[in-house]
Structure 1
């Protein structure tokens, strides 16, 4: 569920340093002729730009857009000569007091002192412009926390699923439910920007990811499953691709989950 409580840049910074931040499955970078970058072909980087900006270098605004009623937006001075706009939601599990930050989009805005935003009008950004040294220090902090690229625990997976649109959320929820029904003690985490499921002390055995037209359910095993899933390039990457019109065969997927969990193919 979404959380609509007072939020400060410091609170965001604390959540980042607690490794409670993920990228939404539909995360995007706005890019058009009005957005100026030092290197337009490269654009903005997820790690190098977004997370350091969340470490005390920006202000926050409560969004009131119809499609973003409980969300937050951050504005940060960008050392490359523009300003970052970071859109994010706060989601929490019913059993967790601390929310997960789910970053949904970033955009670069040219401007030295303030920017004009569609939702908030003129935005005064930080009086002190962070220099390259400031950003480098935040990048070190970020890397120290994210070295394993692992946001652990079911709340992060729940936040990831909640951020999926429509039918993709339904498929992901169905798969997540099946995994937890078959293996109540399963360990879950968001790694490499997708949910993974594993057996403590043995390794990861399944994951899923969302694409523009399909959801991929992946099984990670040291051996081939029986019968073999239709997609994939080897025993450690066997997969089932589901489009909106497809129906998930719960019995078959549950069997693959059990088989893969017996012989996980990816270590911690």
Structure 2
């Protein structure tokens, strides 16, 4: 069969998802596929580079304690937290030098998280490597945020 090409192709088995390391996007933010539940959030936290992964675990634990029944998802390469699985009160995003926690109705909280946003209702809390996390204040913000209307995303 000289000159003919075979119509058969060799299939390669893709690497197992558990073995593949997530790609780190600009600033070190992990690229995690959109998904609902604890599993994609834990994959995101595990992929956070360096010191950020440990802080991510602490934040996740505080959120779970402070908002019983919290629902989780990863969307737009960011973990989201809400109570009904459709409306979200908090999101986390990794940047090169810090972790940004977005409280989607943070302007309505007392005291509001310290960093303003271009969006009227959103307030941010930034965590740098050398910062001491005030768990009591963070927990209070989570409790307040979980009682406010969430953002549909």
TM norm structure 2: 0.76
**1:203 CA drift (Å):** 1.4
Partner of 2:151, secondary structure, is: coil
- RMSD of equivalent CA atoms: 2.8
Quickly say closer, same or farther: Cα 1:60–1:175, change in 2 above 3 A. same
Higher RCO (CA < 8 A, seq sep 6+): 2
Residues 81-140 of structure 1 deviation map (CA, whole Å, 9 limit, x = unaligned): xxxxxxx8517xxxxxxxxx653269xxxxxxxxxxxxxxxxxxxxxxxxxxxxxxxxxx
1:104 aligns with 2:23: yes
SS at match of 2:12: strand
Match status 1:243 vs 2:123: no
Corresponding residue of 2:18: 90
- Cα deviation 1:55-83 (Å, max 9, x = unaligned): xxx7357xxxxxxxxxx4xxxxxxxxxxx
Q: CA deviation at 1:249?
A: 0.6
Choose which of 256, 260, 265 in structure 1 pairs with 2:141.
Answer: 256
**Gap change, CA 1:217 and 1:105, over 3 Å in 2:** closer
Q: Given the superposition, is the C-alpha separation of residues 90 and 223 from structure 1 closer, same or farther in structure 2, using an over 3 Å criterion? A: same
3-state SS of paired residue (1:200): coil
Between Structure 1 and Structure 2, how many residues are aligned? Answer: 136
Give the TM-score taking structure 1 as reference length: 0.45
Answer 1 or 2: which has greater strand percent.
1
Asked whether the 8 Å contact 1:222–1:235 carries over to 2, the reply is no
- Relative to structure 1, is the Cα distance of residues 242 and 220 closer, same or farther in structure 2, using a 3 angstrom cutoff? same
Once the 2 structures are TM-superposed, how far is the Cα of residue 181 of structure 1 from its aligned partner? 0.6
Q: Is 1:197 matched up with 2:116?
A: no
Which residue of 1 is the match for residue 97 of structure 2? 213
Within-5 A mapping of 1:1-268 = 59-60=12-13, 72=15, 90=18, 103-104=22-23, 150-200=34-84, 203-221=87-105, 223-233=107-117, 234=119, 236-268=121-153
